[in-house]
Amino acid sequence: MTGWTATSRRVREEIGQEARFRHSVGVARTADRLAQAHGLDAGRARVAGLLHDLARLWPKERLLAEARRRALMLDAFDVAHPVVIHAPLSAELAREGYGVRDEQILDAIRKHTLGEARMSGLDTVLYLADALEPGRSYEGRAAMLDLAMRDLAEGMRAVLRSTLSHHASHGLTLSPRTLACARAFGVTVPKEILHA
């Protein structure tokens, strides 16, 4: 990968929307802070944050077509909710267009939207940074970020509880991967979600 400034310029052009680019920069900075706070590789976290949403604004038809072209494994949830496919596709774009070969970075990008039962420290940092970067404005965000700065696992539990509560109150379908992630972190899943 080239230097940070040149890479940032490329990402800005590729994303093509200022708000999404600002979010990506916010995620990169937040991931850097979280990684430093917990003795993880801040450089890897920053790269993962900057590149995590390369395919986020693609329309659903393109997401599905590009995933199939690359033979990415899609489950029923992915096909029903194509927006989530941007995560594994963004990892592929990071590899193809930015020369990222570090599987830890690519795995973190793949998992940043839904989580999974097995989350490394870097996976957790990116998941939290995506949810908690300062450009996000929802009740409790700042407190959850403060908690995550002190304790990654507690930060994950707080974000997952918030996600589950949001899904339950809005009647949204939860990904099996997010459900597995919540269970792995010991978060109680609302019965409304289990019986949806």
Tens of pLDDT, residues 38-51: 999 999 999 999 99
Q: Which domain range does residue 148 map to?
A: 4-194
Residue 49: which of 37, 33, 64, 73 has the closest Cα? 33
Decide which of 81 and 173 is more confident.
81
Dig out the tokens for 20 from the structure: 């999404």
Instruction: With a cut of 60, say whether residue 195 has pLDDT above it.
Output: no
Question: In this predicted structure, what is the pLDDT of residue 119?
Answer: 98
The answer to whether the CB of 21 falls within 8 A of the CB of 12 is yes
> How does residue 2 score in pLDDT terms, banded at 50, 70 and 90?
low
The answer to whether the CB of 90 falls within 8 A of the CB of 52 is yes
The answer to whether the CB of 93 falls within 8 A of the CB of 110 is no
Q: pLDDT per residue over 104-145, tens digit each? A: 999 999 999 999 999 999 999 999 999 999 999 989 999 999
For residue 141, what is the domain's CATH number?
1.10.3210.10
How many domains does one find in the chain?
1
Query: How many Å apart are CA 17 and CA 177, to the nearest integer?
Result: 29
Share of the chain residues as helix, strand and coil, in percent rounded to the nearest 5: 70, 0, 30
